[in-house]
Amino acid sequence: MTIDDDAAVRKLPMRARILAAAPDVLLRFTLTKFTMDEVARAAGIARQTIYKHFSSRDELLIAMLIEDMQVRQAPELRDVVGRHPSVENLVEIFLTELEVAAKYPLFHELLDPRTAPRAAELLFQSASIMAVREASWKPILHRYAEQGVVRSDLDLAATVRWITYQMFWLVTHPAVLTDDTAELREYVRRYILGGIVA
Single-letter residue type at 98:
L
Output the pLDDT for position 4: 46
Output the pLDDT for position 120: 77
Whether domain 1-54 has CATH 2.60.40: the reply is no
- Which residues touch 15 (CB under 8 Å, ≥6 apart)? 53
Output the pLDDT for position 105: 67
Output the pLDDT for position 18: 92
In CATH, what class is 57-192?
mainly alpha
Output the pLDDT for position 194: 93
Backbone angles phi, psi at 63, to 5 degrees: -60, -35
Domain range summary for the chain, segments of one domain joined by +: 1-54, 57-192
Averages of pLDDT over each 10 residues, the chain, 198 residues:
49 84 85 87 91 91 86 85 96 93 69 69 84 94 96 96 90 80 94 93
Q: What predicted TM-score, i.e. pTM, was given to this entire model?
A: 0.81
- Which residues touch 43 (CB under 8 Å, ≥6 apart)? 9, 17, 18, 20, 21, 22, 50
Query: Is residue 35 left, alpha or beta, with left meaning phi > 0 and alpha meaning psi from -120 to 50?
Result: beta
Output the pLDDT for position 111: 60
CA distance 68 to 174: 20
